[in-house]
C-alpha cells in the first residue's frame, strides 16, 4: 500500500515533536492551561500518539517510562527499536509501516495488545517475553507457511488474532489449521470461533497435535531442567562454591597442562590417576557442601538482623505516632474558638502554649530518634561481628580443604616422578618390555627433560588450585565489606530521612501558628 506522504522528508522524533504531541493530546481547558504553564514530566504521560508523522526511526522516547499506550501506526518505520525503557506498555500499534522483522520487544513484558498489521513481516519470532499477550494483529504481511503459527501456541492468554491478508490465507486449510493448533483463540480475523469449528478441526489434525504436544512436553521438561540447573548454579555462586562440585576443578587443572595426556600413558599411571581423581573430588565436594551450609547460616543471620531492625523501627514509629496524635488533639482543643477570644493577651498566650508544646514534641521525637540510632548502632555492631566471624569460619574451612587438595597433588606429583624415574632407568638399562607411544618416548630423552615436564604439569595444577582458592576468598571478603558498608549507609540515610521528616513536620505547624497570628493581627487592625 503506497502512502501519499512517502515522498515527504522523514520526521525525526525530537523534543519539539514530543512536546507538541504531549500538549496537543493532553488536557484542555483550565487543566490544559496549568499544564502549559507548569510543564509536564514525560514520565507521567500514559498515552502517546505519533501516528501519520512519516517517522522513519523510533528514537528519543526512552523517558516515557509511564506509557501504557503508544501509537506509531501509519509511518515509514523499518525496525522495531528504542522501546526498552517502556516497560509499562500494554498497547502498541505499529501497523502500516515497513517493518520486516519482529524484534526489539524483549522488555515489554506487560504488553497485552500488539498490532503489526500491514508491514513486511515473513516470520513469527522474538516474542517469547510477551507472556500477557491477548490481542495480536499481524494481517497483511508476508507470512507464507502455516506451520509458523505453531509458534503462537506459547501465548496462553492470546484470544484475538488477525491474520487476514497473508499469503497462507489462500490455503483452503487455513482456518481449520488455525482452529486446531491454537485452541485458546476466541476470535480469528474479527470473527468468533465456534466450538463446532474448533472440535472438527482438532479431529482433523489430531495426529499432528499429538506430536506437537509431545514435543512441547519434552521442551517444557528440558526448560524446567535448565531452570533448575540455573537456580542451582546461582545458589552455588552465592555460596562462592561454583565450580567445586564434581570434577570441574580437577578437569580445570588439566586444561592448560600440555604434557598431562603424554605422562598418563606411562605404565602404572592410570590406576594411580583414578585414585587421585576420586580423592580430589571428595575434598572438592566436601568444600562445596561446607560452603552451602555456611551460606545458609549467613543468610539466616541477615534475615534475623533485618527482622530485628524492622521491629525496632516499628516500635519507635508507634511511639512517635502516639506523641503526634496527642499533640494534634491538644492543639485542636487549645485553639478551638481562639478567634472569638477578645482578650489579646489571652490569644497570644494560647498560641505560645501551643508553640511550647510543639517545641516539646520536637524534642521528644528527636530524642526517640536518637534512642533508635543508639539501639540500631548496637544491633549493627553485633550483626557485623557475627557475619565477620561467620565469614572467617568459612575462609578457614576453604583454606583447610584447599591445603588438603594441594597435599594430594603434591603426593600425586611425587608418585608420578617416581614412576617416571624408574621407567627412565629401565629404558637406559634396556629392560623396558613395553612399547611406549612416540609422544611419550620423546619426553624420555634424558632425566632433565622428563623432570621438567612433570614439574611443569605439577605447577599448572597447583596454580589452578591457588587461583580457585583466591577467587573464593576474595569474593567472600568483598561481599562481606559490601554488606557491612550497605548496612551502615542505609542506617545513615534512614536517620537523615527521619530527622528531616520530623523537622519538616515541626516547621509546617510552626508556620501555621505564624499564619494564625498574622490573621488575628489583621483582624485587630
Q: Positive or negative, the Cα torsion across 268, 271, 274, 276?
A: negative
Of 143, 199, 208, 204, which Cα lies nearest the Cα of 170? Answer: 143
**pLDDT of residue 22 exceeding 90:** no
The closest of 291, 294, 293 to 283, measured between CA atoms, is 291
The pLDDT score that the predictor gives to residue 443 is 85
Q: How do residues 234-284 score in pLDDT, each as one tens digit?
A: 999 999 999 999 999 999 999 888 888 889 888 889 999 999 999 999 999
Cα-based distances in Å from 396 to 281, 294, 383, 477: 19, 12, 20, 12
Q: Which pLDDT belongs to residue 3?
A: 46
Q: Give a yes or no: residue 77 inside a domain.
A: yes
Q: List, for residues 43-56, the tens digit of each pLDDT value.
A: 889 999 999 999 99
Contact 283, 408 (CB under 8 A): yes
For 289, half-sphere exposure in the C-beta direction (CA atoms, 13 angstrom radius) is 7
- At 11, is the secondary structure helix, strand, or coil? strand
Question: Pseudo-torsion of CA 336, 338, 340, 341, nearest 10°?
Answer: 130
- Do 94 and 171 fall into the same domain? yes
Q: Report how far residue 131's alpha carbon sits from residue 392's, in angstroms, rounded to the nearest whole number.
A: 45
Q: How many residues does the chain have?
A: 525
Label residue 32 by pLDDT band (50, 70, 90): very low
- Please check whether residues 398 and 509 belong to one and the same domain: yes
Encode pLDDT of 464-509 as tens digits: 999 999 999 999 999 999 999 999 999 999 999 999 999 999 999 8
**Nearest-angstrom CA–CA distance, 425 and 440:** 15
Looking at residue 98, its pLDDT comes to: 96
Judgement on whether residues 356 and 419 belong to the same structural domain of the protein: yes
180 in the same domain as 87: yes
Residue 352 lies in a domain: yes
- Separation CA 218–CA 212 (nearest Å): 10
**What's the domain range around 76?**
15-194
**pLDDT of the residue at 310:** 95
Confidence class for position 524, pLDDT limits 50, 70, 90: low
Q: pLDDT tens digits, residue range 121-157?
A: 999 999 999 999 999 999 999 999 999 999 999 999 9
End-to-end CA distance of the chain: 78
Using an 8 Å Cβ cutoff, are 319 and 470 in contact?
Answer: no
Closest CA to 466 of 413, 417, 398, 412: 398
Same domain, 187 and 255: no
How many domains does the chain divide into? 2
Shared-domain flag, residues 174 and 317: no
Domain limit, last residue, from 177, 194, 211: 194
**pTM as predicted:** 0.71
> To 5 degrees, how large is the angle CA 405–CA 406–CA 412?
90
Domain identity same for 298 and 417: yes
Residue 118 lies in a domain: yes
Look at the block and give the residue holding cell 521525637: 365
Give the contacts of 198 (CB within 8 A, at least 6 positions apart): 179, 180, 183
SS (H, E, C) 143-194: CCCHHHHHHHHHCCCCCEEECCCCHHHHCCCHHHHHHHHCCCCCEECCEECC
State how far Cα 128 lies from the chain centre. Answer: 17
Name the phi and psi angles at 70, rounded to 5: -135, 125
> Is 90 exceeded by the pLDDT of residue 343?
no
In a domain, 403, yes or no: yes
Tell me the per-residue pLDDT of 400-412, one tens digit each, with 9 for 90 and over: 999 999 999 999 9
Mean pLDDT of the chain: 90
Residue 214 forms part of a structural domain:
no
Q: Is the pLDDT of residue 389 over 90?
A: yes
Query: In the 8-state DSSP scheme, what is residue 346?
Result: H
Q: Which residue has the cell 478551638?
A: 336
Please check whether residue 204 lies inside any domain of the structure. no
Give just the sign of the alpha carbon dihedral 76, 78, 82, 83.
positive
- Kindly state whether residues 183 and 253 are assigned to the same domain: no
Distances (CA, A) of 326 to 1, 330, 433: 73, 6, 101
Q: Are residues 300 and 370 in the same domain?
A: yes
Residue 55 lies in a domain: yes
Q: For the chain, what percent of residues have pLDDT higher than 70?
A: 93
In a domain, 165, yes or no: yes
Residues 280 and 171 in one domain: no
Are residue 263 and residue 178 in the same domain, yes or no? no
CATH number for position 169: 3.80.10.10
Judge if 129 and 270 occupy the same domain. no
Q: How far is CA 18 from CA 41, 45, 171, in A?
A: 12, 11, 44
CB 121 within 8 A of CB 143: yes
3-class secondary structure, 69: strand
Query: For residue 7, is pLDDT > 60?
Result: no
- Burial annotation 485-497 (CB, 10 A radius, 16+ → b, else e): eebeeebeebeee
In the predicted structure, residue 352 carries a pLDDT above the cut 60: yes
Q: Which residues contact 323 (CB under 8 A, 6 or more apart)?
A: 361, 364, 365, 368
- Angle between helix axes 174-181 and 195-204 (nearest 10 degrees) is 90
CA–CA separation, 382 vs 498, rounded Å? 23
Amino acid at each position: 500500500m503506497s502512502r501519499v506522504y512517502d515522498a515527504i522528508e522523514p520526521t525525526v522524533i525530537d523534543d519539539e515533536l514530543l512536546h507538541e504531541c504531549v500538549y496537543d493530546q493532553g488536557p484542555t481547558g483550565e487543566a490544559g492551561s496549568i499544564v502549559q504553564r507548569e510543564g509536564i514530566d514525560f514520565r507521567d504521560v500514559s498515552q502517546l500518539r505519533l501516528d501519520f508523522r512519516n517517522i522513519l526511526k523510533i528514537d528519543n522516547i526512552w523517558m516515557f517510562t509511564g506509557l501504557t499506550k503508544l501509537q506509531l501506526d501509519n509511518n515509514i518505520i523499518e525496525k522495531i527499536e528504542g522501546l526498552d525503557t517502556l516497560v509499562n506498555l500494554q498497547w502498541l500499534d505499529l501497523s502500516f509501516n515497513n517493518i520486516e522483522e519482529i524484534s526489539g520487544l524483549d522488555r515489554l513484558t506487560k504488553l497485552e495488545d500488539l498490532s503489526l498489521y500491514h508491514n513486511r513481516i515473513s516470520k513469527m519470532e522474538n516474542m517469547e517475553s510477551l507472556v500477557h499477550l491477548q490481542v495480536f494483529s499481524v494481517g497483511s504481511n508476508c507470512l507464507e507457511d502455516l506451520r509458523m503459527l505453531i509458534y503462537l501456541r506459547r501465548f496462553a492468554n492470546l484470544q484475538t488474532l488477525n491474520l487476514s491478508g497473508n499469503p497462507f490465507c489462500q490455503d483452503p486449510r487455513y482456518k481449520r489449521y488455525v482452529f486446531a493448533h491454537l485452541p485458546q483463540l476466541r476470535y480469528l480475523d474479527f470473527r468468533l470461533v465456534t466450538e463446532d469449528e474448533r472440535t472438527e478441526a482438532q479431529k482433523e489434525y489430531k495426529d499432528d497435535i499429538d506430536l506437537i504436544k509431545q514435543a512441547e512436553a519434552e521442551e517444557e521438561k528440558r526448560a524446567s531442567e535448565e531452570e533448575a540447573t540455573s537456580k542451582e548454579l546461582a545458589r552455588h555462586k552465592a555460596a562462592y562454591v561454583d565450580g567445586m562440585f564434581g570434577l570441574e576443578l580437577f578437569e580445570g587443572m588439566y586444561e592448560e597442562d600440555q604434557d598431562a595426556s603424554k605422562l598418563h600413558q606411562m605404565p602404572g599411571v592410570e590406576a594411580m590417576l583414578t585414585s587421585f581423581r576420586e580423592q580430589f573430588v571428595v575434598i572438592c565436594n566436601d568444600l562445596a557442601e561446607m560452603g552451602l551450609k555456611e551460606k545458609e547460616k549467613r543468610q539466616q543471620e541477615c534475615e534475623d538482623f533485618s527482622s530485628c531492625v524492622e521491629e525496632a523501627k516499628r516500635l519507635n514509629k508507634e511511639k512517635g505516632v502516639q506523641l503526634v496524635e496527642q499533640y494534634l488533639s491538644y492543639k485542636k482543643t487549645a485553639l478551638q474558638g481562639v478567634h472569638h477570644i477578645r482578650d489579646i493577651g489571652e490569644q497570644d498566650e494560647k498560641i505560645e502554649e501551643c508553640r511550647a508544646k510543639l517545641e516539646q514534641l520536637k524534642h521528644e521525637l528527636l530524642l526517640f530518634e536518637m534512642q533508635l540510632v543508639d539501639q540500631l548502632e548496637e544491633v549493627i555492631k553485633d550483626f557485623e561481628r557475627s557475619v565477620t566471624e561467620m565469614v572467617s569460619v568459612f575462609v578457614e574451612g576453604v583454606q583447610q580443604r584447599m591445603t588438603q587438595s594441594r597435599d594430594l597433588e603434591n603426593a600425586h606429583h611425587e608418585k608420578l616422578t617416581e614412576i617416571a624415574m624408574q621407567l627412565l632407568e629401565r629404558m637406559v638399562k634396556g629392560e623396558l618390555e613395553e612399547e611406549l607411544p612416540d609422544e611419550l618416548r620423546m619426553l624420555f630423552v634424558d632425566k632433565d627433560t622428563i623432570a621438567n615436564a612433570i614439574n611443569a604439569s605439577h605447577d599448572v595444577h597447583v596454580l589452578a588450585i591457588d587461583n580457585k582458592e583466591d577467587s573464593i576468598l576474595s569474593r567472600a571478603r568483598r561481599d562481606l565489606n559490601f554488606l557491612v558498608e550497605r548496612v551502615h549507609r542505609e542506617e545513615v540515610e534512614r536517620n537523615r530521612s527521619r530527622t528531616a521528616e520530623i523537622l519538616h513536620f515541626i516547621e509546617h505547624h510552626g508556620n501555621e501558628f505564624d499564619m494564625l497570628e498574622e490573621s488575628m493581627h489583621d483582624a485587630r487592625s
